């Protein structure tokens, strides 16, 4: 599933120009996984996944990410954004469906992907 939003951010502590406020047209790609399909052969209806992802991204659209929780204290890097969306998206999926990975693209050439290690016994995202 892919969704987009536009937002500004600045990367705290960055030694270069990314420390200054700038914006991106962010693209978010989310993939889910599971072991069983439903009676019509779906893991999850894409419309359900799309609504959930777009609802999460609404909080970021046309905002300064540095002023939106949790990025008031967590650096709003593509990596941290991917990890946060991964965790939030996984909170409200149908039973048996989990997030496999979330990729955040700042541009068509710069992206970060978060995927939780299956061996992470604590289960933290």
Quick check: pTM over 0.75? yes
Mean pLDDT of the 75-83 span: 98
Looking at the chain, the whole-number percentage of residues with pLDDT higher than 70 is 94
Which residue ranges make up each domain of the chain?
2-114
Looking at the chain, the whole-number percentage of residues with pLDDT higher than 90 is 89
- pLDDT single digits (tens) 2-16: 999 999 999 999 999
d(CA 30, CA 99): 7
**Distance set, CA 57 to CA 18, 49, 75 (Å):** 22, 12, 17
- Give how far the C-alpha of residue 94 lies from the chain's centroid of Cα atoms, to the nearest Å: 18
- CB 100, CB 93: distance < 8 Å: no
- pLDDT single digits (tens) 15-62: 999 999 999 999 999 999 999 999 999 999 999 999 999 999 999 999
**Which CATH entry fits the domain spanning 2-114: 3.30.479.10, 3.40.190.10, 3.40.50.720, 3.30.530.20?**
3.30.479.10
| pLDDT surpasses 50 at 69 | yes
């Amino acid at each position: 599933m892919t969704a987009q939003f536009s937002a500004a951010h600045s990367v705290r502590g960055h030694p270069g120009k990314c420390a200054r406020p700038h914006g991106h047209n962010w693209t978010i790609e989310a993939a889910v996984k599971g072991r069983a399909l439903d009676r019509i052969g779906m893991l999850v209806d894409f419309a359900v996944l799309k609504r959930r992802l777009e609802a999460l991204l609404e909080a970021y659209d046309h905002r300064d990410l540095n002023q939106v929780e949790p990025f008031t204290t967590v650096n709003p890097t593509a990596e941290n954004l991917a990890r946060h969306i991964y965790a939030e998206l996984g909170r409200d999926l149908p039973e048996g469906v989990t997030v496999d990975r979330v990729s955040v693209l700042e541009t068509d050439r710069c992206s970060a992907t978060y995927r939780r290690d299956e061996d992470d016994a604590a289960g933290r995202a």
